[in-house]
Amino acid sequence: MKRKRTARGGVLIPACLLTCLLISLLMGEVVAGEGDTGGDFQQWLQSLRAEAEAEGISQRTLASALDGLQPLPRVIELDRRQPEFTETFWNYLDKRVTPSRIQQGRRLLKRHQALLERIERRYGVPPRYLVAFWGLETNFGRYLGSFPTVAALATLAHDRRRSAFFRKQVMAALRIIDEGHISAAAMKGSWAGAIGQLQFLPSTFLRHARDGDGDGRKDVWHDLDDVFASGGSYLRDLGWRYGQRWGRAVRLPSDFDWSLASLDTKKPLAHWRRLGVRRADGSPLPTADLNGAIVLPQGHEGPAFLVYDNFEVILKWNRSIHYALAVGHLADRLVGAPPLRLGRGADNRRLDRSQALELQRLLNRLGFDAGEPDGIPGSRTRDAVRAYQKSVGLPADGYPSHNVLEHLRRHVDRKAAQHRG
């Protein structure tokens, strides 16, 4: 019998949880409190079974996956939970790119060098990136999640807020079982239905998972041949550019126009060099024919990054700038890059949800459209912050910080005093 490759490490909450929350945010469907769970679960389950049978799922699979299935209240509880704080970049990074994770990642990079180099030749993704994703998603396979996948997905699909999205995922999970890649009883993952050592959603598995060792199964839970082949396949399909790095930390000139710091503002490296942007160590930027964008994850006081096309590929995996920067930085650290040092003096206070709500309401009150206040500062809030900063002569970095909130409070108080006078 073929021996499977496995690895161990410490506990990590998988990044897929953030992915599923972001899906909710993008769809405008994060709701606090009780939700409509869509009526009788068993009646709903019968309609799901009929749909799956019509799509060719075998009776054996339907019996093993759906007989006796009950909703999981804990899944609904976790899905309803909103973040208490808006995490700062430094807090996010320091919790994930730790000395122990870097050390363990380097050992695993060396241990699986031959396999990873074979994957690189086939899919064009360098080993350090696959190991970085592996480390951030499940701490190198240590934490895959313990929720029964079909039950978790069925619970979310029964909830009417995102029924169509998660019903698709249930059907995909049933297809994975029916194809023989794993049994229904053994299929476990996150509360939001992400599976395997790279935490794919079932629909992602069906499109991008690969049988790396040719044994007829795509075992992304236990077999690292399959895990890394699937990760390489997925990144290639998302548009990974071989031979190009994700980006780099940079040093910005004192007179930098902060309004240029946006993923939407892509310029050739020659343009950034002319503006005085340099590598973090002070040396000139390379002369490569690349376009890049400046990212400020913690405002103008924090670190600055010049990011390229592969950074946006990482964002397609998980729509979080913090996550994408952590993947890129961890990948660099695995091959000897130094720690990030610039921007360590930034204000590292987190906005709690009530403060974020107040910031959004104050922006709206002053005529800067932050959208419906929800306590989650997304792109619309950041655009409103940037517009406000420009209007009052602050560095227009778009970062929703405590300093901005305090400035808004003073601004509103002054206007109220003038009105009373």
Q: And the tokens for 324? A: 């994408």
Q: What is the pLDDT at residue 385?
A: 97
The secondary element (H helix, E strand) that includes residue 307 is: strand 304-307
DSSP state of 339: P
Distances from the Cα of 195 to the Cαs of 127, 219, 281, in angstroms? 21, 10, 40
Structure tokens at 8: 């161990």
Give the pLDDT of residue 15.
52
Q: How far apart are CA 188 and CA 152, in angstroms?
A: 9
CA gap 111, 24 in Å, rounded: 38
Residue written as token pair 């010049």? 306
Look at residue 27 in the predicted model and tell me its pLDDT.
Answer: 37
Phi first, then psi: what are they for 92, rounded to 5°? -60, -50
* Whole-number Å distance between alpha carbons of 393 and 244: 37
pLDDT of residue 14: 45
Can you say how many angstroms the Cα of residue 179 is from the centroid of all Cα atoms in its chain? 28
**DSSP class per residue in 34-88:** -----S-HHHHHHHHHHHHHHTT--HHHHHHHHTT----HHHHHHHHPPPSEE--
pLDDT of residue 151: 98
Domain with CATH 1.10.101 in the chain: 351-420
Sheet with 291-295: strands ordered across: 267-268, 291-295, 304-307, 247-251, 278-279
Concatenating the DSSP letter of every residue in 244-279 gives ---EEEEE--TT--GGG-STT--EEHHHHHHTT-EE
Domain ranges in the chain with CATH number 1.10.530.10:
87-144+205-246+308-348
Q: Shortest CA distance to 141 belongs to which of 227, 69, 61?
A: 227
Fold annotation for 351-420:
Muramoyl-pentapeptide Carboxypeptidase; domain 1 (1.10.101)
User: Considering the domain 87-144+205-246+308-348, what is its CATH architecture?
Assistant: Orthogonal Bundle (1.10)
CB atoms within 10 A of CB 131: 25
Per-residue pLDDT of the chain (421 residues; tens, 9 = 90+): 444 444 333 333 445 444 444 444 433 333 333 344 456 999 999 999 999 999 999 999 999 999 999 999 999 999 988 677 789 999 999 999 999 999 999 999 999 999 999 999 999 999 999 999 999 999 999 999 999 999 999 999 999 888 999 999 999 999 999 999 999 999 999 999 999 999 999 999 999 999 999 999 999 999 999 999 999 999 999 999 999 999 999 999 999 999 999 999 999 999 999 999 999 999 999 999 999 999 999 999 999 999 999 999 999 999 999 999 999 999 999 999 999 999 999 999 999 999 999 999 999 999 999 999 999 898 999 999 999 999 999 999 999 999 999 999 999 999 888 887 6
* pLDDT given at position 421: 66
Per the CB < 8 A criterion, the answer to whether 131 and 101 are in contact is: no
Q: Residues 345-391: pLDDT tens digits?
A: 999 999 999 999 999 999 999 999 999 999 989 899 999 999 999 99
Other CB atoms within 10 A of residue 355 CB: 18
pLDDT at 31: 35
Contact 82, 377 (CB under 8 A): no
